[in-house]
Amino acid sequence: THDVRHARYYVAPYACQSGNADCLQQAASLLTKWLDAPDKVRLNPDTAAAVRCYGVRGGDATTFKKVKDLWASATTKELKSSYANMLLCSSERSRVEELIGDVLKDESKLSDIDSFFSTLASRIDHHQLLLDYIKKNYKSLDEQFGDVGTITPDSLVPTELVSILIKWVNTIRSDVEYKEAKAWLTSTFGSRPDARLLNQA
């Protein structure tokens, strides 16, 4: 019935999000079956989104790798984004950090990288991870993006790295996080030509 489908659609994500072990295990099992035989196994449309996300969260390293292989071989921006969203459901910090490295190594368009980091910045559970990653790698990120020399103090568009940081700042949810970020951003990026745009975030 409509009520049952409605309940499935809304209850499944909440059960898995709350860390319910049975929900995560079932999602992982269903996702594994789909990954092993995508042409034969059809996910229930009412719970497919939850299975794709929480199947990764509840799954093991093999499941994560299978989805990452699909992401790496995706030929359209939509598919790449869809698989990246699945992978970012993982709660394993090391796997997400590895994914960030793979995204940056991938010969994608800059817009694809920007889209990935926008999604990552919006994930509250990975908020600290992203800041820690940028703290550790901001110099190499600047070098890779290669746009620092194109920015002047009156530029209306920031560098790619500062653009990512602005998205991150706009999703801060606590005073503690804000104070930590402000102190580091001010000391590290205060003299950059696009610091004005970062300060406005």
Helix/strand/coil (H, E, C) string of 51-115? Answer: HHHHHHHHCCHHHHHHHHHHHHHCCCHHHHHHHHHHHCCCCCHHHHHHHHHHHHHCCCCHHHHHH
pLDDT of residue 108: 59
Residue 71 and residue 79: Cα distance in Å, rounded? 7
Please say whether the dihedral angle defined by the alpha carbons of residues 41, 42, 44 and 49, taken in this order, is positive or negative.
Answer: positive
Q: How many C-alpha atoms does 155 have within 13 Å on its Cβ side?
A: 19
Global pTM?
0.84
pLDDT of residue 9: 42
Residues near 54 by Cβ (< 8 Å), separated by ≥ 6? 13, 16, 17, 23, 24, 27, 28, 89
Q: CA-based diameter of the chain, in Å?
A: 61
Residue 181 and residue 154: Cα distance in Å, rounded? 24
DSSP string, 163-201: HHHHHHHTT---HHHHHHHHHHHHHHHTTSTTHHHHHT-
Q: What is the pLDDT along the chain (201 residues), one digit of tens a residue?
A: 434 343 344 456 667 888 889 889 999 999 999 999 999 999 988 889 999 999 999 999 999 999 999 999 998 888 988 999 999 999 999 999 999 999 888 755 666 788 888 889 888 889 999 999 999 999 999 988 888 888 888 888 999 999 999 999 998 888 888 888 889 999 999 888 888 888 887
Give yes or no for a contact between 17 and 54, defined as CB atoms under 8 angstroms apart.
Answer: yes
CA distances from 105 to 22, 76, 102, 127, 141 (A): 36, 17, 5, 21, 11
pLDDT of residue 139: 93
pLDDT of residue 133: 94
pLDDT of residue 5: 44
pLDDT of residue 13: 67
**Tokens found for residue 34:** 């789909």
